[in-house]
Chains A and B, each alone.
Chain A
Amino acid sequence: MAMRDLVTGGAACAVPGTAASSSNPFGALANAILGSSSKTQELKGLPGSAVNVPGPSSDFRTEAPLTTIPGLENEGQQHHQPVGQNYEFLAGFRTADHGVLADAWNEIHQPPALQTQGGKIEAQFQEFEQIYNRGANSILPPAWDGPPQGVLSRFLHSFVDSGRAGVPFRPAALPVLGLSEGDKQCIRDRSFIMAHHIFADKSEEYINAQVNALLHSLDIDGNERLRGPIRGSYPELEEYWTESQGALRSGMPSPADKWVSEFARQRENGDPEAWAHSFEQLHGTNGWASEFEHEQSQLASVGQVRGANMSHIAAMEQSRMLAHTLAQNTDPKFQNSKFLQFVSKMSRGELIVDENQIKPATGSLTDNWADEYQAQYNAGSSSWADQFVRQDLPQGTDKWVNEFVKENQQQGVDDQWVNEFSKLHVQDWAEEFGQQVAEGALGDSTADDWANTYENFLDEQLLASKQHSGASRGVYVFSDMNPYVGHPNPLREGQELFRKGLLSEAVLALEAEVLKNPDNAEGWRLLGITHAENDDDQQAIAAMMRAQEVDPTNLEVLLALGVSHTNELEQPEALRYLYKWLQNHPKYGVLATPELADSPYYGDVARLFNEAAQMSPEDADVHIVLGVLYNLSREYDKAIESFQTALNLKPRDYSLWNKLGATRANSIQSADAILAYQQALDLKPNYVRAWANMGISYANQGLYEQSIRYYVRALAMNPKADNAWQYLRISLSCASRNDMFEACDSRNLDILQKEFPL
């Protein structure tokens, strides 16, 4: 049987009559390895870059940066596999650069199992012929033996392939893989997220069925939701667990990690970052957690007490235990690892976690106040909240406040909240409050409300240390536990993932790239764009700024910065970047006058852009920039006109449809906005920003139930979209779905998705 017949599903093949490669397992495999037949076009169209991959196609062209667009004509057509093209690229395949393709083969086949390192392609084909001839219904050969990681990775790959080929996935009987609960949890979470991306255009039931098939084979219960390795019987410990996760974020793989690579990466190249994985594998994600559990049961008396400093204490406790555990491992790699040192420092209090960043500890961490507070709280009836409630309110307020202020002065405490609070003319506030109460403006229940609110406030302190803090503006925050670090070519991987619409994964790969090559402008630029599409303007700005540092004249970067600043309502910055776009443009740069550069006045800039538009009305980009400019000045009609002109020139630019939609929405044409967003989503189903914008448009029209569904969908694709979480909560409240508050606050997507499917 000729190679070509195999791939193109010729008559001799066992599965005739169907589209060439969608049910032909080998074709699907080849596609998965080399990308779909439209891959060459995909590569050509990567946003803004001239792609230099020595690929199988001979018709690759270099694009001028301006005319390439994010998103492609052929984006949505991955399942159409015309026979001719397969043939063509296979021919090219034979003659192509073996090195590159060997890499691609290797990525699918883990070295231990098949020894394909630098192997000849012919040999591999032969192997596949044999495998195929053995006859199989599953996409990869039923050789489910070998090292568990190899088996698992092949199995997971076959899931991905089946997804791409549009074939329903078959559960397969696998040997016992020895997955720990933590691993299963991880696989489960990631499968859902990945499935949502891969099957973005399919129905919810299909997605669930697929994932359940996958999980079933792996013997993971898809419905049971464990929160970390600690079982639900220790609720306080669970709280501590989540706190410590926020504080340390170590040892627990986050759902965003690429699960296949995680399990496949057995290679210990002596790469310092690989220790994290080997640690997990040695100890299991349960290892130090069970030790921790043990210790925690001794600390359990702490109960409900929380406070900003308590989380520091907790963090220190945990780091001490972690350091202890690690130190007990006599492997010299651990002893010397930076992580161990880091953890030791944390436990000694030399470093603290502040607002999601690690800082050297300033001032004392002796936390006398927190201890005393704890003691007071545990004393139950003497807790100040109760005191407050019981006492006569007007005098009570003053008394409490005085007590508190006195205490504060005695302790000389370094607690942020307390300082802020005492600095604010506490007496004035208390007087006002007391007055209000005396005037009877407060209802009967407000005393309780007040105490509740205080509790909530303390919760918020905790949450604030976990959340992405707005204070660290302009500083890029890297993800922890990035499985792509150490990858041989993370930029290409990132580009591929972006192409496939797996935005969160692409972020990780691109971060790995810029960690490796901090001067790679393209890496930073694509990272910025990915964040923007994932609806995170803050990170987008941070990444784009780095791109701009490396390459100050890159027009796409300048435009993207203009857009992100516009979204953040930062008019002057937006204007500055849009003006720089003009200045650096080869054609229109002449229009720009240098004196405007520093503090561009809106009127002048607009005038210049209009001149540029007249110079070349066929240039879509000028119109795009004009559209953004008009958004800044809230001349929405003009903005809509500009975007429409641009869309006539570039009708398949999904980001442009989104801009049109957003402009409409901001000028209260929400119904029309939704139509534009739908166009964008047709072109790019995983466009998180567009999903979130749809939610906003429904909410602004008062259609809260609908808005909830769209927010949930956006969040399923990017659980880190903080804005969307906040808006979701507001919509829940407007729709009187307070029963779902807890799910929202705990970011429980499972429940939310079940309750609010699209």
Chain B
Amino acid sequence: MESSLQSAGLLEQMKLHLSTDAGKEITKKIGLVYQLNIAPKKIGVDEEIFVVDLKQGKVTKGPYNGKPDATFSFTDKDFLSIATGKMNPQIAFIRGAMKIKGSISAAQKFTPEIFPKPSKL
């Protein structure tokens, strides 16, 4: 996945992670498709679109072919904060750091728990 976003690194790791046992557990547990619109600086501007498909267990770049269960829009830094547990997704939502479209119940399952954490060199 070619990208200049910091988030791309994490999503690459997610891609690998989904092929592990732990990753397969996640697909079993959630079974939803999320689309992430990630912008470098400001929401909605120069977005890169990724799809975290927790039904089939894969991560791809580009809009989803079909209707995702929930679509999120945030900035690069905010997505990373949420995925690493620095920022609570509900809080992010209230502050407008994260926009949601689609099913709220699906959105509620989007938590830091599903993401693998990066290890530090």
**Residues on A facing B (Cβ under 8 Å):** 417, 420-421, 424, 429, 432, 436, 441-443, 453-454, 456-457, 460, 470, 535, 537, 563, 566-572, 628, 631, 634, 658-659, 661-663, 665-668, 670, 673, 689, 692-693, 696-697, 699-702, 722-723, 726-727, 729-730, 733-734
Closest residue to B80 on the A side, CB-wise? A569
B86 at the interface (CB under 8 A from A): yes
Question: Which residues between 1 and 30 of chain B lie within 8 Å of chain A, taking CB atoms?
Answer: 4, 6-7, 9-10, 12-13, 16-17, 19-22, 25
Count of A-B residue pairs with CB < 8 Å: 110
Q: What sequence of 0s and 1s flags, for each residue 37-51 of chain B, a beta carbon within 8 Å of any chain A beta carbon?
A: 000000000000000
Across the interface, do A726 and B84 meet the contact criterion of CB distance under 8 Å? yes
In the complex the two chains form, is B120's CB within 8 Å of A726's CB?
A: no
Q: Show 8 A/B contacts (Cβ-Cβ < 8 Å), sorted by A.
A: A453-B94, A456-B91, A567-B120, A569-B9, A569-B10, A668-B16, A702-B22, A734-B113
Task: Among A420, A571, A729, find the residue whose CB has the most chain B CB atoms closer than 10 A.
Answer: A571
Of B13, B84, B104, the residue contacting A442 (CB under 8 A) is: B104
A665 near B119 (CB under 8 angstroms)?
A: yes
B91/A700 in contact, CB under 8 A: no
CA distance A212 to B96 in the complex (A): 49
Since A567-B120, A734-B113 are in contact, a sample of 20 more A-B pairs with Cβ atoms closer than 8 Å, ordered by chain A residue number, is A417-B95, A421-B95, A421-B96, A429-B99, A454-B94, A470-B77, A535-B120, A568-B6, A569-B6, A631-B121, A661-B119, A662-B119, A667-B16, A668-B20, A696-B119, A700-B117, A702-B22, A726-B84, A726-B85, A730-B113
Scan residues 70-121 of chain B and give those whose CB is less than 8 A from a CB of chain A: 77, 80-81, 84-86, 88, 90-91, 94-96, 99, 101, 103-105, 111-113, 116-121
B41 CB → nearest A CB, Å: 14
Establish whether residues A441 and B104, one from each chain, have CB atoms under 8 Å apart when the complex forms: yes
Please report B residues at the A interface, Cβ cutoff 8 Å: 4, 6-7, 9-10, 12-13, 16-17, 19-22, 25, 77, 80-81, 84-86, 88, 90-91, 94-96, 99, 101, 103-105, 111-113, 116-121
Residue of B nearest to A426 (CB): B96
A689 and B17 contacting across the interface, CB-CB below 8 Å: no
List chain B residues, Cβ under 8 A from A723.
84
Determine whether the beta carbon of A456 is less than 8 Å from that of B117: no
| Min distance, Cβ B92 to any Cβ of chain A, angstroms | 10
Residue of B nearest to A689 (CB): B120
Chain B residues whose C-beta falls within 8 Å of the C-beta of A441 in the assembled complex: 103-105
Query: Of A566, A567, A700, which one neighbours B116 at CB under 8 angstroms?
Result: A700
Considering the complex of A and B, which 5 residue pairs feature the smallest CB-CB distances, nearest first?
A726-B85, A702-B22, A424-B96, A665-B119, A662-B119
Contacts of B95 in A (CB 8 A): 417, 420-421, 457
Most chain A beta carbons < 10 A, residue from B6, B17, B80, B119? B119
Q: How far is the CA of A593 from the CA of B34 in the complex (A)?
A: 44
Output the nearest chain A residue to B84 by Cβ-Cβ distance. Answer: A726
Cα distance A424–B16 when bound, in Å?
36
Give the most central of A442, A572, A667, A702: most B CB within 10 Å.
A702
Q: What is the distance, in angstroms, from A678's C-beta to the closest C-beta of chain B?
A: 14
Contact, CB under 8 Å: A628 / B121: yes
Nearest chain-B residue to A731 (Cβ)? B113
Q: Which residues of B contact A696 (CB under 8 A)?
A: 117-119
Which of B6, B9, B99, B121 makes the CB contact (< 8 A) with A563?
A: B121
Query: Of all chain B residues, which has the CB nearest A696?
Result: B117
Q: Do A456 and B16 form a contact, CB below 8 Å, given A569-B9, A689-B120? A: no
Task: Closest A residue to B23 by CB, please name it.
Answer: A668
* Partner of A729 from B85, B96, B119 at Cβ < 8 Å: B85
CA distance A274 to B13 in the complex (A): 50
Contact (A733, B96) CB under 8 Å given A457-B91, A566-B121, A569-B10: no
Q: A420-B95, A569-B118 are in contact. Are A701 and B20 (CB under 8 A)?
A: yes
- Chain A residues closer than 8 Å to B91, beta-carbon distance: 453, 456-457, 460
User: What residue of chain B has the Cβ atom nearest to residue A670's Cβ?
Assistant: B20
Residues of B within 8 A of A693 (CB): 119-120
Q: Nearest CB to that of A562 among chain B residues?
A: B121
Contact yes or no, A662 B121, CB < 8 A = yes
A673 touches B9 (CB 8 A): no
What residues on A are CB-neighbors of B4 within 8 Å? 571-572
Q: How far is the CB of A623 from chain B (nearest CB, A)?
A: 14
Q: Give Cα distance in the complex from A661 to B86, angstroms.
A: 24
On whether the beta carbons of B121 and A567 are closer than 8 Å, the reply is yes
Query: From B94, which residue of chain A is reached at the shortest CB distance?
Result: A457
Contact B112 A730 (CB under 8 A): yes
Closest partner residue, chain A, to B24 (CB atom): A702
Q: How far apart are the CA atoms of A722 and B104 in the complex, in Å?
A: 30
Nearest chain-A residue to B95 (Cβ)?
A420
Docked Cα-Cα span, A631 to B113, in Å, equals: 24
Interface contact A697-B119, CB-CB below 8 Å: yes
Q: Could you tell me the distance between the alpha carbons of A571 and B86 in the complex, rounded to whole angstroms?
A: 21
**A631 vs B86: C-alpha distance when bound (angstroms):** 24
| A537 near B120: Cβ-Cβ < 8 Å | yes
The interface centre, meaning the residue of A441, A443, A668, A723 with most chain B CB atoms within 10 A of its CB, is A668
Whether the pair A663, B104 counts as a contact (CB closer than 8 A) is no
Chain B residues with CB under 8 Å of A692's CB are 120
Q: Which residues on the A side are within 8 Å of B121 (C-beta)? A: 563, 566-567, 628, 631, 658-659, 662-663
In Å, the complex CA distance between A659 and B84 comes to: 20
A571 to B4 alpha-carbon distance, docked (Å): 8
Q: List residues of chain B with CB within 8 A of the CB of A442.
A: 104
Q: Tell which of A436, A453, A699, A727 touches B104, judged by Cβ atoms closer than 8 Å.
A: A436
State whether A701 touches B22 (Cβ < 8 A). Answer: yes
Residues of B within 8 A of A662 (CB): 119-121
Residue of B nearest to A631 (CB): B121
Q: Are A453 and B90 in contact (CB under 8 A)?
A: yes
Q: What is the minimal beta-carbon distance from A356 to any residue of chain B, in angstroms?
A: 15
B89 CB, min distance to chain A CBs, angstroms: 10
Choose among A420, A631, A667 the residue that contacts B96 (Cβ–Cβ < 8 A): A420
Q: Give every chain B residue within 8 A of A443 (Cβ-Cβ).
A: 105
Q: How far is the CA of A570 from the CA of B116 in the complex (A)?
A: 18
Q: A459: shortest Cβ distance to chain B, in Å?
A: 9
A666→B86 contact, CB < 8 A: no
